[in-house]
Each structure stands twice: as C-alpha cells, then as structure tokens.
Amino acid sequence: MSSTYHHGDLYRQALEQAQALLHEEGAAAVTLRALARRLRVTAPALYRHFRNRDSLLAALAEHGFLELRQQLLAVQRDDALERLTGIGQAYIAFAQAQPNLYRLMFGGQLLPRGAHPDLDAAGLGAFAVLQQSIDDALDAGYLNGQPAGPLTAAAWSLVHGFAELTIDGHLPDEQQAPGLAALVTRLLLPGGPPSHHDNTL
Amino acid sequence: MSSTYHHGDLYRQALEQAQALLHEEGAAAVTLRALARRLRVTAPALYRHFRNRDSLLAALAEHGFLELRQQLLAVQRDDALERLTGIGQAYIAFAQAQPNLYRLMFGGQLLPRGAHPDLDAAGLGAFAVLQQSIDDALDAGYLNGQPAGPLTAAAWSLVHGFAELTIDGHLPDEQQAPGLAALVTRLLLPGGPPSHHDNTL
DNA sequence: GCGCAATGTTAACGCCGTTAACACGACATC
DNA sequence: GATGTCGTGTTAACGGCGTTAACATTGCGC
C-alpha cells in the first residue's frame, strides 16, 4: 500500500531536484529520466507537471531570472552611480555563483523568443532593474547625459560578457582576479558631477 | 560494385556538412546519425575520423575561431583607435552572421577547458588579435594609458556580451538598430590624443 | 458511498551515441 | 601478378533518451 502513489507536491520537488541537478552537473544532465529516478517516480509522471523537457528547462531559467532580479534589487546605495556599479558586481557574482544556471539562462537553448512567455517576462524583469538604475544615474547627472538606450545596452553587454567569459574560462588567469570585476564595471563610466570615482586604476 | 565503398575524403565532407547543419539548425541538430544520412554513409563510419560527437563539435568551434581570427586580422585602418573599433564591429558582425556557430564557440558545451587543446589554442589566437590591437592603441597614446589587462578584458566582454545579447534577442528592438553596434563599441573609449572621436552620440 | 478528475504506472516507439565484429579494397612487398 | 596488411567502410546490437497511449490508483466533491 504505497501511501505515496500520489506524490503530493511532485511539481515543487521536481523543480528543486532539477535545480540541484543543473547546479551540480549542468543542463545536459537535467534529464527527465534522471530527474524521475531522483524522485523515485517514473518518467512519464513528470509530464503531468511539465509539457516537455524544454518547459522544465524554461521553468528553471525563469526562476533564475527571478532570483537574479531579487539580487539586483537588493543592492542599495545612496549614490546612484555607486548603486549602478554595485548592481554590475552583483550581476557578475550571480553568474559566478551559479554558472550552470547562468549558461542555461543565456545559452540560447530556449529560443526562439516567445516559445516560453513566462521566461521572456522574467528576463525583461531582470533587465528592467539595470535599466532603471541607469536612468537614475542619468537623472543624478552622471554618465555625461549620454542617451539611455545605448548606455543600457553597453552596460548589460559589459557585465554579461564579463560574466560569461570568466565562468567559461576564456579570460587569461591574471585577468580573473577577484577585484577585476569591480574594475571592469567602472571602466565604462567616465565620471560625472561628484568626482569621488575616478578611473584611478 | 559501389565504387565508393571508400569514400575518399569523408573527413572534409563531414566537416562541411556539419557546418551546414550547424548553421541551418543549430548545434542540437548536429547529430552523428543525421550527418551520416547527409553523407550517405553509416554512422559508425564517422568514428574513423572523429573520436566522438564532442570532438566533431570541437572541430567546428575550432574552425569558427580560426575564421573569426582571420576576419579580425582583415580589419586594416591607419589609426590605431579606428582599427580597434573596427575590430569590435567585425567581431559583432561575425557573431550576427553565424549565430549558431558563435553559440557553439561560447555556449560552454565544450568545457572543461583542456578537453580539446586545438580548440583552446584557436580561441587564444582570436583573443590575441584583440589584445594586440589594444596594445597598439595604448602605444599610440589612446585609452588614457589605462592598464592593458583590464582594458582587454573589458573590451572583449563588451563585444562578446553585445553579440550574444543581440543574437539571442535579449535587447529590446529599438536597441538593435544596425548603427548601435558601432556606437556601443565606442562607448568604452573615452578619447585620447587626437580628438576626432568624441563620444558625440 | 460514488464518481470523476488528478496523478501516478506500464509498455512501447523511434532517435540518439557508441562499440564490437566483420567486409571491402588500395597499396606495398615479394 | 599474387599476397597480406591496414585504412575505411558496413552490420548488428546495447543502453539511454524524450515522448505517447493505455491503464491504474487515489483523493475530493457531491
């Protein structure tokens, strides 16, 4: 009399174990059958909760974007420019702490856009934090009043690129020093009204 | 009497067809069996030329890095700073022209580093072009004499990040205007001796 | 207490990477 | 020219995968 024929909350546990699998072994290891084995359930059972494997991966990526957004929102500084650089560093820290998750979020496996609307929305939500903090910095007179659009694109490109290159080991070792992330996030920002942040390297 | 029991140059044709498959349908579609079907050959035949599927993908990525290097080397400008921005734009153009190849090169499927030495070497070869052009710009008095290491990391991060974000559709549409690539590649560079390149947006 | 909907299992399909055993044929050696 | 060897192809088979259809069990509303 297996008292757990009905598992109870397979959906939640599946997400948790899938996150563990992703974190430990990468997206390729997030297999419906492997996940089912971990949960002591047969593979087709998972189809009651996920349309297919891609939907499961999309759900993981979506959670990743939601978590990233929260970590960016948690950066609080008085000065708008300091907050912007802090956000950049938090972004990089997120990617370095969970490289497999980050690769799933940006690896391009879940394309095309529109296939997973919730995922797209979560991605925009994270992007919005960065965008807002740039607007705030501009309002505070920083960034030489450059147009917000290209600035945002450049800022995101910089942190995203640095995050990916470091977690994939593409940058030479000496350029992976812990402090470099901070340095890089400041290179883009050639000053503004208060001068307590020169690019004094 | 199939006159082509011995195929002749299966290795070269396999690489070509694999490139086509990759370009048209992405890395997931580059399957040994699908490739064998295209070549009118059985799947195990490919194991005479590639250790396994990963080696095939690594060979494709390696060719990508070699081609990228050539395209960067082909950028010739008199002014060192102009050449640097030209290289950034050529880099982005490469990624946008062959998104599936670019994702394979940087998607992190071929890790860990050291698993495919030829691939690692080719990657470093492409990186070296960028590094050299930054050294040249510094020698010409540009970039405010900032340290070369972080500068290189930041420059590569910027172009790599922008390339990936655009080919994956993460940037809002208005920020994908053709000219934006040029703009972004200049944001990083706050001038130098000659002033014919302000950040006049 | 009954019935239905939710949620699990079993069995099976085709595709995949990979390996072992075998077959063909070009090319060197005698 | 016969012969043997080695490179390169085929055949057959294994297990793992995503996925589906059919069936089984259970909890919950009436």
CA B101 to chain CA centroid, nearest Å: 8
Buried b (16+ CB within 10 A) or exposed e, A11-40: eebbbebbbebbeeebbeebbbeebbeebe
Whichever domain contains A3, its CATH number is: 1.10.10
* Per-residue model confidence as pLDDT tens digits over B66-78: 999 999 999 999 9
Residue A176 within a domain: yes
Give the pLDDT of residue A175. 59
Same domain, yes or no, for A125 and A180? yes
On whether the CB atoms of residues A116 and A55 are closer than 8 A, the answer is yes
The Cα–Cα gap between B157 and A171 comes to 10
Same domain, yes or no, for A162 and A67? yes
* Per-residue model confidence as pLDDT tens digits over B101-133: 999 999 999 978 888 999 999 999 999 999 999
Which residues, 6 or more positions from A87, have their beta carbon under 8 angstroms from its beta carbon? A72, A75, A129, A130, A133
Which residues, 6 or more positions from A52, have their beta carbon under 8 angstroms from its beta carbon? none
Give the pLDDT of residue B143. 83
Same domain, yes or no, for B63 and B109? yes
Quick one: average pLDDT of B81-99?
93
* Per-residue model confidence as pLDDT tens digits over A37-87: 999 999 999 999 999 999 999 999 999 999 999 999 999 999 998 899 899
Residue B196 within a domain: no
Whether the upstream peptide bond of residue A194 has omega within 30° of 0, thus cis, is: no
Same domain, yes or no, for B92 and B168? yes
Of A109, A149, A167, the CB nearest to B175: A149
A3 touches strand D (CB under 7 A): yes
* Per-residue model confidence as pLDDT tens digits over A128-161: 999 999 999 999 998 888 888 888 888 899 999 9
Same domain, yes or no, for A107 and A170? yes
Q: How confident is the model at residue A3 (pLDDT cuts 50, 70, 90)?
A: very low
The nucleotide minimizing the C1' distance to residue A30's CA is D17
Q: Which of A11-15, A195-199, B125-129, B177-181 has the lowest mean pLDDT?
A: A195-199
B42: nearest Cα among B2, B86, B94: B2
Mark yes or no for CB contact B158/A153 under 8 Å: no
Tell me the nearest-neighbour CA distance from B5 into chain A, angstroms. Answer: 36
Same domain, yes or no, for B79 and B31? no
Structural domain total, chain B? 2
A162 CB-side CA count, 13 A: 33
A5 touches strand D (CB under 7 A): yes
Residue B195 within a domain: no
Give the pLDDT of residue B194. 40
Which protein residue has its CA closest to C1' of C7? A6
In this predicted structure, the answer to whether residue A122 has a pLDDT above a threshold of 90 is yes
Whichever domain contains A165, its CATH number is: 1.10.357.10
Residue A194 within a domain: no
The Cα–Cα gap between B104 and B164 comes to 11
Quick one: average pLDDT of A172-195?
57
* Per-residue model confidence as pLDDT tens digits over B42-59: 999 999 999 999 999 999
Same domain, yes or no, for A42 and A63? no
Task: Determine the residue of chain A that is closest to B29 in CA distance.
Answer: A109
Residue A111 within a domain: yes
In this predicted structure, the answer to whether residue B4 has a pLDDT above a threshold of 60 is no
Same domain, yes or no, for A113 and A134? yes
Residue B194 within a domain: no
In this predicted structure, the answer to whether residue A116 has a pLDDT above a threshold of 70 is yes
Give the pLDDT of residue A149. 85
Q: How confident is the model at residue B145 (pLDDT cuts 50, 70, 90)?
A: confident
What tokens were used for B65?
A: 């890095």
Identity at A65, one-letter amino acid code? F
CA–C1' gap, A55 and C20, in angstroms: 38
Same domain, yes or no, for A84 and A174? yes
In this predicted structure, the answer to whether residue B187 has a pLDDT above a threshold of 70 is no
Give the pLDDT of residue B183. 64
Mark yes or no for CB contact B175/A199 under 8 Å: no
What tokens were used for B159?
A: 């172009």
| Distance (Å) of CA A60 to CA A57, A97, A158, A164, B161 | 5, 16, 24, 18, 22
Phi-psi region of A192 (alpha: psi -120 to 50; beta: other; left: phi over 0): left
B104: nearest Cα among B124, B82, B119, B88: B119
Residue A151 within a domain: yes
Residue A160 within a domain: yes
Q: Residues of B with CB below 8 A from A171's CB?
A: 153, 156
Give the pLDDT of residue B189. 56
Q: Residues of B with CB below 8 A from A169's CB?
A: 111-113
Give the pLDDT of residue A191. 45
Same domain, yes or no, for B69 and B40? no
Q: Which domain holds residue B70?
A: 57-187
On whether the CB atoms of residues B83 and B179 are closer than 8 A, the answer is no
Same domain, yes or no, for B63 and B150? yes
Same domain, yes or no, for A27 and A94? no
Give the pLDDT of residue B114. 84
